[in-house]
Amino acid sequence: MKQILQNLGNGETILAEVPCPRRGKGKVLCQTTRTLVSLGTEKMLIDFGKSGWIAKARSQPDQVKKVLQKIKTDGLKTTVETVRAKLDTPIPLGYCNVGRVVEADANSFYQEGDRVISNGSHAEMVAVPENLMAKIPANVTDEQAAFVVVGAIGLQGIRLLQPTLGERIVVSGLGLIGLLTVQMLKAQGCQVLGIDFDSKKLDLARSFGAETVNLADGQDPVAVAEDWTAGQGVDGVIVTAATKSNELIHQAATMCRKRGRIVLVGVIGLNLQRADFYEKELSFQVSCSYGPGRYESNYEQKGMDYPISFVRWTEQRNFEAVLMLLSEGKIKTDKLLTHRFSFDQALEGYGAISNPGAMGILLEYPDVPFEESRHLAERRVKIQPSELASVSGDLGVAFIGAGGFTTRMLMPLLPEQGISRRSVVSSTGASSTHAAKKFGFAESSTDALSVMQNPAVDAVFITTPHNTHCGLVCDALAAGKHVFVEKPLAMDLEELDRVSEALQSHPNQCLMVGFNRRFSPHSVALKKWLAACPGARSIIITVNAGAIPADHWTQDPEIGGGRIIGEACHFIDLARFFADSPITSVYAQPMAGGEGRLADCVAIQMTFENGSLATVHYLANGSKDFPKERIEIFAGGRVLSCDNFRASQEIGGKGKLKTRGQDKGHAKELTAFFETLKNGGEWPIAAEQLIEVSKATIDAANQIQQSLNAFGR
């Protein structure tokens, strides 16, 4: 199937051939019939991609601060590679999709053949969570329905403004969302004043029943609003414009009556003047997209709806409300449509974005029965002839997962010789196709089973969300594949038992977990220096991890398992590596108080058979000016230290090591894995240690959760 992608690094807009997305539980697979191009959001992304590095930096000053901080802690080379990799990954464009249901869960509200709108992208097939779509009434055409999602953006602004019958409301900015907002306000019985520079848009607003202000003619919107309200001031302003100027918000405040309301739907300068709001006690609110539920993973991804008695208008119910207005003829879209393009000419459609007068740009997809278009559901796409990606006798390699870490830290380090690059799998297909093309794989896919069944694949790399690791590891081992899985190996003891049983049942397959830090030249040097220090060691590892949002997927106990399971396992393994002895006990305690509520400020203490001790301080509440990772080992009258895997030294000895940039061992880790597969011998990390470290991590996480429960959190 084809999909439109945008490269934010070089600005290229691509009509790419990608595999059909994997539907997944709680999602609906749809064949697209129409999509609408968003002149606001999509033009912004395209312009950002085409801009130079300096312009990109100026447009995102907050991100620049993060980059500068990363340079201080991780070094210039690592930071530049990270930024380039992030910008190089194409992103899907579009969020106004109309289609027909092809496949859904057995108990789904949606049935095969239903016409639906969704926030799916510009693609011939889309997989969309059920709460992000709605059924289309029979008397609403696909063309009309394409305007529903942008209409819901305006509707949410109206809901926040809470206008009542007869109130006088200003709509500032008469683009697509603004003109839809005008019609919905009129349907609610409001008087509307529209403001814009474009005479054609002003004509449309008047045809929908609004009064207008033509800024191009030099009309003063504040004076017009004062005259329109007989000096009382308007009841509310909805700003749907896009400008960097602060003048718009000042105008909105000036034209409002006392205790008037202002809602921002667009993107404008927000240097607010206190006097504007203080003297009139104005209220100001920023509207978030389509409504309640937006960006909430429980609502969007897990399908947990808000009870209608508590949240009357969710984003899905806003979709349904716009569809109702279309069905009743209270929203007209024919005058808003300015351009039509077949999907094959979609790139021409993007060229029309900058045309004067462009507003509704509709992409039309082939209207053929799905039975006659089965190729759209193909979940494997050949990137290049397989002989170009393989040599007889080479190890066949496939990746399941194509996220930023995979494409930045693993794929670039694959050996040039002796590796047959077979397949890259991801859930959406866009990221796997980009990775396959960039790194020379023969195939892109959204079907993990195809990798397991492919006899040409000898080794599988698993870099998917944490909750999928155990199942994929067991499936790959059962299929006779060697496995490299990013941490964690398992999320709980039951999963760990499953992996142990799979290993025992398939002893000829090598399993590797991505504990890369033990392969760093710094870790290797520290262990070499320890050889001169007989007896037990005291190991202190301080991780200045920094805070991440509570709604980040790694914090989700069902998907990521939390930061101890997902990240602290690295340092438990590192302590095991330096102690060079089995773990005999683990005790973990979270910090009490507000900063410890997410179980990311903890102390983990371990003892080892040889008498060594280790403490891992995993903290999210420290300064970014402190090294992100620091290792200190006390042994034999010496102290060994490592700062952020950039500089190490042996205090009380002669050892010193400084690398050019940060080196956390990823390259050596892969080298060790492939050497084992080619030459046999001992695994890079013994299976017993992999299980031991995973069990210690799970024990620590369980203890921390028990303590948090005792704290009442």
Secondary structure of 554-578 in HEC code, one letter for each residue: HHCCCCCCCHHHHHHHHHHHHHHHH
Q: How far apart are CA 31 and CA 365, in angstroms?
A: 9
Q: Which long-range contacts (CB under 8 A, 24 or more apart) does 103-111 make?
A: 103/23, 103/28, 103/29, 104/23, 104/28, 104/29, 104/130, 105/25, 105/26, 108/28, 110/28, 110/135
pLDDT band at 57 (very low <50, low <70, confident <90, very high): low
pLDDT band at 599 (very low <50, low <70, confident <90, very high): confident
Q: Which two tokens stand for residue 527?
A: 């262990």
In this prediction, residue 74 carries a pLDDT of: 65
What CATH fold (topology level) applies to the domain 384-515?
Rossmann fold (3.40.50)
173: left (phi over 0), alpha (psi -120 to 50) or beta: left
8 Å CB contact between 574 and 542: no
8 Å CB contact between 705 and 589: no
8 Å CB contact between 685 and 515: yes
pLDDT band at 28 (very low <50, low <70, confident <90, very high): very high
pLDDT in tens, 392-426: 568 999 999 999 899 999 999 999 889 999 999 99
pLDDT in tens, 353-381: 878 888 999 999 988 887 777 777 788 88
- Phi and psi of 586, rounded to 5°? -135, 130
Arithmetic mean of pLDDT over the chain: 91
What count of other Cβ atoms lies within 10 Å of the Cβ of residue 100? Answer: 18
In this prediction, residue 387 carries a pLDDT of: 45
What residues pair up with 361 in beta bridges, in sequence order? Answer: 37, 339
Q: Which two tokens stand for residue 110?
A: 């949606």
pLDDT in tens, 261-316: 999 999 888 888 899 899 899 999 999 999 999 999 899 999 999 999 999 999 99
CA trace torsion 368, 129, 320, 164 (10° rounding): -140
8 Å CB contact between 13 and 350: yes
- Phi and psi of 558, rounded to 5°? -85, -25
Q: What is the mean pLDDT of residues 652-656?
A: 89
pLDDT in tens, 674-688: 999 999 889 999 999
In terms of pLDDT, which residue wins out, 42 or 189?
A: 189
pLDDT band at 457 (very low <50, low <70, confident <90, very high): very high
8 Å CB contact between 378 and 137: no
Q: Which two tokens stand for residue 573?
A: 């393994």
In this prediction, residue 393 carries a pLDDT of: 65
Q: What is the mean pLDDT of residues 185-213?
A: 97
Q: What is the mean pLDDT of residues 173-192?
A: 97
Q: How far apart are CA 453 and CA 560, in angstroms?
A: 27
Per DSSP, which regions of 25-153 are E strands?
Answer: 27-37, 91-92, 97-103, 115-118, 125-129, 133-135
pLDDT in tens, 312-336: 999 999 999 999 999 999 999 999 9
Where helices occur in 304-357 by DSSP H, the ranges are 315-327, 346-351
Q: Tokens 């979709």 sit at which residue?
A: 319
**Is 149-286's fold the same as 384-515's?**
yes
Q: What is the mean pLDDT of residues 50-62?
A: 66
Residue type, 252: A
8 Å CB contact between 398 and 461: yes
Share of the chain above pLDDT 70, in %: 92
In this prediction, residue 78 carries a pLDDT of: 67
In this prediction, residue 388 carries a pLDDT of: 47
Q: Is the pLDDT of residue 485 over 90?
A: yes
**CA–CA distance from 645 to each of 355, 630, 685, 709 (Å)?**
52, 8, 20, 35
Q: What is the mean pLDDT of residues 187-198?
A: 97
Class of domain 149-286: alpha beta
In this prediction, residue 243 carries a pLDDT of: 87
What CATH fold (topology level) applies to the domain 517-662+686-711?
Dihydrodipicolinate Reductase; domain 2 (3.30.360)
The helix or strand, by DSSP H or E, that contains position 672, with its residue range, turns out to be helix 666-679
Full-model pTM: 0.88
Q: How far apart are CA 479 and CA 158, in angstroms?
A: 55
pLDDT band at 382 (very low <50, low <70, confident <90, very high): confident
Q: How far apart are CA 539 and CA 530, in angstroms?
A: 11
8 Å CB contact between 315 and 185: no
The helix or strand, by DSSP H or E, that contains position 657, with its residue range, turns out to be strand 656-658
Q: Which two tokens stand for residue 549?
A: 């949002």
* Crossing angle for the helix pair 148-161 and 315-327, to the nearest 10 degrees: 110
8 Å CB contact between 412 and 419: no
pLDDT band at 56 (very low <50, low <70, confident <90, very high): low
Nearest alpha-carbon partner for 266 in 173, 403, 160: 173
Q: How far apart are CA 599 and CA 556, in angstroms?
A: 12
Burial profile 76-87: b = 16 or more Cβ within 10 angstroms, e = fewer: eebbebbbebeb
Q: How far apart are CA 225 and CA 169, in angstroms?
A: 10
User: Parallel, antiparallel, or unpaired for β 629-635 and 538-544?
Assistant: antiparallel
Q: What is the mean pLDDT of residues 146-168?
A: 97
Q: Which two tokens stand for residue 404?
A: 């930023």
Q: Tokens 């060594």 sit at which residue?
A: 612
Q: Is the pLDDT of residue 391 over 60?
A: no
Q: Which two tokens stand for residue 570?
A: 């690295």
What residues pair up with 604 in beta bridges, in sequence order? Answer: 588, 616
In this prediction, residue 672 carries a pLDDT of: 96
Nearest alpha-carbon partner for 583 in 604, 616, 608, 603: 608
Domain layout of the chain by residue ranges: 2-147+333-372, 149-286, 384-515, 517-662+686-711
pLDDT in tens, 489-524: 999 999 999 999 999 999 999 999 999 999 999 999
Q: Is the pLDDT of residue 256 over 50?
A: yes
pLDDT in tens, 440-451: 999 999 999 999
The sign one gets for the Cα dihedral 116, 118, 122, 124 is: negative
Considering the segment(s) 2-147+333-372 as one domain, its CATH architecture is: Alpha-Beta Complex (3.90)
Cα of first residue to Cα of last residue in the chain, in angstroms, is 47
Q: How far apart are CA 633 and CA 614, in angstroms?
A: 9
Q: What is the mean pLDDT of residues 656-674?
A: 93
CA trace torsion 675, 681, 684, 686 (10° rounding): 160
Q: How far apart are CA 567 and CA 561, in angstroms?
A: 10
Q: What is the mean pLDDT of residues 654-667?
A: 91
Q: How far apart are CA 32 and CA 397, in angstroms?
A: 34
Angle at the Cα of 545 from the Cα atoms of 540 and 548, rounded to 5 degrees: 155
Q: How far apart are CA 670 and CA 691, in angstroms?
A: 20
pLDDT in tens, 539-570: 999 999 998 888 888 989 999 999 999 999 99
Burial profile 350-369: b = 16 or more Cβ within 10 angstroms, e = fewer: bebbeeeebbbbbbbbeeee
